[in-house]
Structure 1
Amino acid sequence: MTSSLLFASEGFGLNLNVFETNIINLAVVIFGLYKFLPNFLGGMLERRRSAILSDLKDAEDRLDEASTALSQAKEELSSAEQKATKIRNDGKTRAEAIRLETEKRTVEEMARIKQGAASDLNAEASRVTAQLRREAARLAIEKALATLPAKLDERAQTNFLNQSIKNMSKD
């Protein structure tokens, strides 16, 4: 064994015995790795590379779709905000128109009620006036009838009755 070690006395030696050092086995293993590993490992790396590229492509596609969806959602939000503002403004305008219409109807109804009250008051005043006239005429007639016999003698009463009958027959 000492013959196969070179420079063994210096601390580092090189063993040139092929069977002891297992160089042939190492050469066979290295050759096998060199021959078969690139195909096996290369195929695995290529498949992994393809999977990563496919995942990146899918991620980019999803990002594009998400960006498009985000843009569309922003447009829809803007449109919805515009519609909401328009609806709010239309509602305020409609509420103001309803309020004005209600006020107008209230004023008209109050005027109609006031007119009705004035009309009722005038009608009642006319009725009371007519009743007072009838009562005054009745009292005047009663007083005249009460005082007339004392003032008229027999001949004047006969003339008065004849005159009244003539006046009635002419009509």
Structure 2
Amino acid sequence: MTLQFSATALFAHHGGFGINVNPFETNLINLIIVIGVLVWFLRGFLGGMLERRRQAILADLSDAEDRLTRATAELTRAQGDLAAAQQKAETIRRDGVARAAAVREESEKRTIEEMARLKEDAVADLNAEAARVSDLLRREAARQAIEKALASLPKKLDAAAQSRLIDQSIRNLGNA
């Protein structure tokens, strides 16, 4: 009994095309046994490999999810920090603008006060000078009037009246 399958023997034996249903001649039993053994042995080997691969993929996915969660938390924290920094920068900018306005107003106020003080000083100096000149003119006018009166009095008055007038004028000048 040969276990060799030959297409020519099959055609020659039947005289044409046909199917050989004899399990021993077609090695069907041997094929079933080999396939069964392969499935039984490979199931454990391939199954173990596939299970290890599945576990590795699940671990990688879990790790990726953890990293995504941490990255999301970091992003949220960074966005919060950015918002806080932007808010602080806006506060600093507003404070700077307000401080610049206050400095400008203070400077303008001091300038106006200084100008007013200078004007008051100038007016006071002018008034003092006017008073000094007025006093000087009044004294000069009085002196000239006295000299003129003294020059014209000897012709109009006698010696006793002239002496009384001079004494009175001296007293008036002493009171002034």
- Common fold: TM-score over 0.5: yes
Q: 1:8 to 1:73 in 2, by over 3 A?
A: farther
Alignment equivalent of 2:17, drawn from 11, 16, 26: 11
Alignment equivalent of 1:54, drawn from 54, 59, 63: 59
List alignment gaps of at least 5 residues for structure 1. none
Q: Report the CA distance between 1:21 and its aligned residue.
A: 5.8
Q: Distance in 2 between matches of 1:102 and 1:2?
A: 116
Q: Distance in 1 between matches of 2:16 and 2:141?
A: 167
The higher relative CO (CA closer than 8 Å, separation ≥ 6) is in 2
Secondary structure of the 1:140 match is helix
Q: 1:117 to 1:152 in 2, by over 3 A?
A: same
Q: Distance in 2 between matches of 1:8 and 1:70?
A: 80
Name the structure 2 match of 1:116.
121
Between 1:46-55 and 1:65-74, the stretch displaced more is 65-74
Name the structure 2 match of 1:160.
163
Q: 1:2 to 1:110 in 2, by over 3 A?
A: closer
**Number of residue pairs the alignment of both structures matches:** 163
Q: Report the CA distance between 1:143 and its aligned residue.
A: 3.3
Write out the 4+ residue segments of structure 1 that deviate beyond 6 Å after TM superposition. Answer: 1-4
Q: Report the CA distance between 1:95 and its aligned residue.
A: 3.1
Name the structure 2 match of 1:127.
132
Between 1:79-88 and 1:54-63, the stretch displaced more is 79-88
Q: Report the CA distance between 1:16 and its aligned residue.
A: 5.4
Name the structure 2 match of 1:67.
72
User: Which amino acid is the alignment partner of residue 42 of structure 1?
Assistant: G
User: Which amino acid is the alignment partner of residue 107 of structure 2?
Assistant: T
Report whether the alignment pairs 1:102 with 2:107: yes
